[in-house]
Amino acid sequence: MVFDFSVEPEFQTKLDWAARFVAEEVEPLDLLFPHSGDPFDVHNQKSRAILRPLRERVKEQGLWACHLGPELGGHGYGQVKLALLNEILGRSLWAPTVFGTAAPDTGNAEILAMFGTNEQKKQYLQPLLDGDLVSAFSMTEPQAGADPKEFVCRAWQEGDEWVIDGEKWFSSNARYASFLIVMAVTDPEAAPHRRMSMFIVPAETPGVEIVRNVATMGERSSLDEGSHAYIRYNQVRVPADAMLGRPGGGFAVAQARLGGGRIHHAMRTVGKCQRALDMMVERAVSRRTQGRRLGDTQAVQAFIADSSIELTQLRLLVLYTAWTIDTQPHGSARSLIASSKVAMAKVYHDIIHRAIQIHGALGTTGELPLAGWWQHVPVMGLADGPTEVHRFTVAKGLLKTAEPADGLFPSEHIPPKLEAARKRYAHILEDVPAPAGEN
Ligand SMILES: Cc1cc2nc3c(=O)[nH]c(=O)nc-3n(C[C@H](O)[C@H](O)[C@H](O)COP(=O)(O)OP(=O)(O)OC[C@H]3O[C@@H](n4cnc5c(N)ncnc54)[C@H](O)[C@@H]3O)c2cc1C
């Protein structure tokens, strides 16, 4: 096996184009429309007017919706190339929307493609892939998130309809969505992983009530800047064919969705961390203290070195995970995806913190992007599942195949191993005379 870290020249040309395009044409959108929900606000005519021609240029370059396989009209670049592109897109809030790779729409498109009927694909998948509408994923509930076995939002059949009743929490972008993918308990008596089913609910269906759009750090509820909906489904009626996947298959659909989302998020985080490191280095050679540059002090050099080392480790982990997804049997990357998710939250926290520290008071203000990125730190360890749960996945993978030690002591216990080593080479140890002073 050969590990080759070079990029094909044709694809490198595309990456170079994307890097220039994002810096010059897309990053201005981040300044004009800076809230996390803004890229999904289909009602904002001004931002949409800027967005449309930018998307056309991405399509002309063959870089639209690069997460898709060829069967969905994508280019089939695979995850490694997607990782390289996402590093560039991760530098900007708007870039994923401009390039057709923004979550949660990407994950929703994936499950529609995997589990949808032809009719569902025509009605929901195609417009989603074309970027014509926005969708939401409605799984987390007010009383439970990390453990879906605690969900209680119910759905039952009445005639040829399903009736959905219950509450959901943090359904991102629901306020802009044309449809929501909702997970509900359809068979409370079944085994925990077979209790739930997934439904496609058009947003205008009677009974879909957005209680409020919850604002996260840095967003103001008073100005209605929140985009994570607290939703009540009041006996919402959908036709029988609104179910996505099989009855009782909701858990499997959710699992299929989340793996891709997590690793794509990690790819973009590499890009955001790189941008913070670039800022750190620029500041270190621009600012002076006690007659020398900040970068000439050992403390700042340590900040820069640690950030560079940790970022390189994260980047290699993410690329290795992407390579595993591309080349190994389905499911092989599970533990690596969880590892990437855990690592990304920690590395992002550490690098953004150091970047703020190096910029002093200025780093804490809204006059640099760092303060906004810092507000996103806790989200990294929560969205798409908490760090603790992903750690558990990594550990469980290792513990599952581990064997207990034979006997009282660990298999690496030195006394019996030394005894065995002496026996193994006894014939030589006995024949060759020991140096003077040894026996
Ligand atoms: C910005 C953002 C966007 C989101 N978008 C969506 C969305 O579009 N749709 C959607 O359905 N959800 C969404 N979520 C919700 C997200 O998936 C949940 O926040 C996440 O699954 C954790 O659930 P919870 O918040 O209820 O925390 P809980 O489940 O209450 O967990 C709280 C804490 O308890 C600890 N914990 C939990 N379980 C374990 C365990 N097994 N072992 C050890 N410790 C544990 C962890 O420290 C964890 O952080 C979003 C969240 C955020 C922050």
Euclidean distance between the first and final Cα of the chain, in Å?
47
User: Rounded to two decimals, what is the model's pTM?
Assistant: 0.94
CATH 1.20.140.10, the chain: domain bounds: 252-401
- Ligand 1 in contact with 137 (CB < 6 A)? yes
Q: What is the DSSP letter of 242?
A: G
Atom 7 (ligand 1) nearest CA: 171
The ligand 1 atom at the shortest distance from the C-alpha of residue 139 is 11
Pairing of strands 154-158, 196-202: unpaired
Q: In terms of CATH, what superfamily is 252-401?
A: Butyryl-CoA Dehydrogenase, subunit A, domain 3 (1.20.140.10)
Of 382, 388, 396, the one to substitute when testing ligand 1's pocket (max ligand atoms within 8 A of C-beta) is: 382
What separation in Å is there between the alpha carbon of 255 and the centre of ligand 1?
15
224-236: average pLDDT: 97
What separation in Å is there between the alpha carbon of 121 and the centre of ligand 1?
29
CATH 2.40.110.10, the chain: domain bounds: 135-244
What separation in Å is there between the alpha carbon of 300 and the centre of ligand 1?
35
What separation in Å is there between the alpha carbon of 84 and the centre of ligand 1?
28
331-355: average pLDDT: 97
Count other Cβ atoms within 10 Å, centred on residue 385. 19
What separation in Å is there between the alpha carbon of 169 and the centre of ligand 1?
10
Q: What is the pLDDT of residue 258?
A: 78
Q: Is the pLDDT of residue 2 over 80?
A: no
Percent of the chain having pLDDT more than 70? 99
Residue 365 identity: T
Distances (CA, A) of 206 to 138, 163, 180, 263: 17, 11, 13, 36
Q: Is the pLDDT of residue 277 over 90?
A: yes
Question: Which CB contacts under 8 angstroms, 24+ apart, belong to 349-352?
Answer: 349/377, 349/380, 349/381, 350/306, 350/307, 350/310, 351/273, 351/276, 351/277, 351/280, 351/307, 351/310, 351/311, 352/273, 352/276, 352/377
Atom 27 (ligand 1) nearest CA: 145
Report whether 37 contacts 175 (CB < 8 A).
yes
CATH 1.10.540.10, the chain: domain bounds: 9-102
Backbone angles phi, psi at 37, to 5 degrees: -85, -15
* Whether CATH 1.10.10.10 fits 9-102: no
162-177: average pLDDT: 98
- Ligand 1 in contact with 418 (CB < 6 A)? no
Please report the beta strands in 43-130, taking only residues with DSSP state E, as ranges in sequence order.
none
Distances (CA, A) of 217 to 146, 222, 374: 20, 13, 10
Residue 4 confidence class, pLDDT cut points 50, 70, 90? confident
How far does Cα 48 stand from its chain's mean position? Answer: 25
Joined tokens for residue 332: 């092989």
Q: What is the pLDDT of residue 436?
A: 76
Q: What is the pLDDT of residue 255?
A: 87
Short-list 386, 256, 248, CA closest to 331: 256
The ligand 1 atom at the shortest distance from the C-alpha of residue 384 is 17
Backbone angles phi, psi at 58, to 5 degrees: -65, -40
Q: In terms of CATH, what superfamily is 135-244?
A: Butyryl-CoA Dehydrogenase, subunit A, domain 2 (2.40.110.10)
- Ligand 1 in contact with 388 (CB < 6 A)? yes
